[in-house]
């Protein structure tokens, strides 16, 4: 018996330990300011596939790029709109990175065409240092300037330039550090209040920007541009409305049924003041022979007749974990007559869309 036990132990010793999960990058020991307006908290952040893959204690996980950011803030990349109408290379300025800007929306006041072809040449991931928003935003949609006698906390200053700006711009996968969100990330020392003429006091300026990721690509390291361009041309579809942020209300959505060829089973909620949504999401995509089940939810965002959330989902039968964005639109303008839409994006690229009865999307949320 003893000999058998020894042989068993010896055999087990030859079995390799389970390989640690590997990511493209991990930022360790930072103070997370996630864009929600909630207080900062300590955590590590992992980046994979150009998205936020994990948040928490990642001491047992490994990455190709491992950066200790102890003593520094980690926040979503800032979103800036350019009202000047300038055609001068809107996404190639490396000075944007040193301000923590990862997305610049040109022609933000709708003063002219959003066509970026004139004067900018070829705008794609090989040319852009930061993302460029190729759409217009009316001034009334942009977050109002907020002035106060005191200095805003870092959480509110960041929220103004990230989550609030993303919501106003009608973007669903940017503005927060949350599972499945695009990995536009800035690491910085602190804030310098900006209360001069024409500036937003609440949107204080970042000081000591150390590292910046654009779509998961390290564009600024230790304050110096890396020369690697991760920027993209960002467009906005009809099912992405401008809206207020909703971190200060409870929200809940339930959808079951068929949306075109998609089979949907969604029951997701997020408590008031919570950082992360919870619930159940299973989606079958027969056209691709795939089944999606969510492992970690990001932020549940709502507006009148519209819902969105990001998540990390297991894609079967492959078994891979991939970022997804789910959009539920009860008032899809492209589908009149009481028909809504379900849109599922995988990896920020592959999109599946299906029509569904408007009443099949049940949004349980207090009105503002």
Q: Which segment, 107-111, 130-134, 233-237, 331-335, is predicted with the most confidence on average? A: 130-134
Please tell me whether residues 262 and 229 are part of one structural domain: no
The model's pLDDT over 249-280, given as tens digits with 9 standing for 90+, comes to 899 999 999 999 999 999 999 999 899 999 99
4 has a pLDDT exceeding 70: no
Alpha helices in the chain, H assignment, sequence order: 2-14, 94-98, 154-161, 163-168
**Average pLDDT along the chain:** 82
246 belongs to a structural domain: no
Percentage of the chain beyond pLDDT 70 is: 77
275 belongs to a structural domain: yes
10 has a pLDDT exceeding 50: no
Mean pLDDT of 190-214: 70
125 has a pLDDT exceeding 70: no
Q: How confident is the model at residue 8 (pLDDT cuts 50, 70, 90)?
A: very low
Q: What is the pTM of this model?
A: 0.85
Please tell me whether residues 260 and 291 are part of one structural domain: yes
Q: How many CB atoms lie within 10 A of CB 69?
A: 20
46 belongs to a structural domain: no
pLDDT of residue 109: 54
Closest alpha carbon to 297 in 357, 252, 249:
252
pLDDT of residue 107: 64
Cα atoms found within 13 Å of the Cα of residue 12, Cβ hemisphere only:
6
Please tell me whether residues 292 and 175 are part of one structural domain: no
The helix or strand, by DSSP H or E, that contains position 301, with its residue range, turns out to be strand 290-303
Q: Which residue has the higher pLDDT, 241 or 177?
A: 177
Please tell me whether residues 82 and 209 are part of one structural domain: yes
pLDDT of residue 348: 74
Domain count, the chain: 2
pLDDT of residue 150: 54
20 belongs to a structural domain: no
Please tell me whether residues 158 and 281 are part of one structural domain: no
Please tell me whether residues 219 and 319 are part of one structural domain: no
pLDDT of residue 134: 81
Please tell me whether residues 93 and 130 are part of one structural domain: yes
Determine the structural domain holding residue 292 and report its residue range.
251-364
The model's pLDDT over 30-70, given as tens digits with 9 standing for 90+, comes to 999 999 999 999 999 999 999 999 999 999 999 999 999 99
292 belongs to a structural domain: yes
Take residue 171 and report the two structure tokens written for it: 């973007």
Q: How many CB atoms lie within 10 A of CB 29?
A: 15
Please tell me whether residues 267 and 230 are part of one structural domain: no
Please tell me whether residues 83 and 222 are part of one structural domain: yes
The DSSP bridge partners found for residue 355 are: 341
Mean pLDDT of 284-310: 92
Mean pLDDT of 212-217: 97
Please tell me whether residues 153 and 259 are part of one structural domain: no
* Contact indicator for 136, 114 with CB cutoff of 8 Å: yes
Percentage of the chain beyond pLDDT 90 is: 57
The model's pLDDT over 300-326, given as tens digits with 9 standing for 90+, comes to 999 888 999 999 999 999 888 999 999
Which residue matches tokens 């690229």?
349
48 belongs to a structural domain: no
53 belongs to a structural domain: no
Please tell me whether residues 136 and 229 are part of one structural domain: yes
Q: Which residue has the higher pLDDT, 109 or 361?
A: 361
Please tell me whether residues 217 and 284 are part of one structural domain: no
């Amino acid at each position: 018996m003893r000999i058998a036990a020894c042989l068993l132990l010896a055999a087990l010793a030859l079995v390799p330990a389970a390989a640690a999960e590997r990511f493209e990058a991990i930022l360790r020991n930072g103070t997370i300011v996630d864009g929600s307006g909630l207080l900062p908290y300590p955590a590590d952040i992992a980046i994979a596939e150009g998205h936020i893959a994990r948040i928490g204690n990642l001491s047992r996980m490994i990455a190709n790029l491992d950066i200790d950011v102890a003593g520094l803030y980690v926040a979503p990349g800032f979103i800036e709109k350019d009202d000047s109408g300038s055609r001068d290379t809107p996404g190639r300025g490396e000075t944007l990175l040193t301000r923590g800007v990862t997305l610049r929306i040109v022609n933000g006041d709708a003063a002219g065409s959003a066509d970026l072809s004139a004067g900018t040449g070829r705008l794609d991931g090989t040319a852009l240092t930061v993302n460029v928003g190729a759409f217009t935003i009316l001034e009334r949609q942009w977050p109002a300037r907020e002035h106060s006698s005191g200095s805003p906390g870092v959480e509110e200053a960041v929220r103004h330039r990230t989550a609030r700006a993303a919501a106003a711009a009608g973007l669903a996968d940017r503005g927060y550090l949350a599972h499945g969100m695009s990995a536009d990330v800035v690491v910085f020392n602190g804030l310098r209040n900006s209360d001069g003429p024409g500036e937003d006091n609440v949107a204080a300026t970042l000081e000591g920007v150390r590292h910046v990721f654009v779509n998961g690509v390290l564009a600024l390291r230790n304050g110096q541009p890396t020369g690697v361009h991760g920027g993209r041309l960002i467009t906005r579809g009809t099912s992405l409305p401008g809206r207020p942020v909703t971190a200060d209300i409870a929200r809940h959505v339930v959808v079951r049924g068929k949306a075109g060829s998609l089979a949907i089973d969604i029951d997701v909620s997020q408590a008031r003041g919570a950082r992360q949504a919870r619930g159940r999401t299973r989606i079958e995509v027969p056209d691709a022979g795939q089944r999606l089940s969510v492992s970690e939810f990001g932020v549940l965002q709502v507006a009148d007749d519209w819902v969105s959330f990001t998540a990390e989902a297991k894609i079967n039968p492959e078994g891979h974990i991939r970022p997804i964005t789910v959009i539920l639109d009860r008032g899809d303008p492209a589908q009149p007559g009481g028909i809504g839409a379900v849109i599922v994006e995988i990896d920020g690229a592959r999109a599946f869309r299906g029509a569904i009865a408007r009443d099949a999307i049940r949004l349980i949320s207090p009105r503002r």
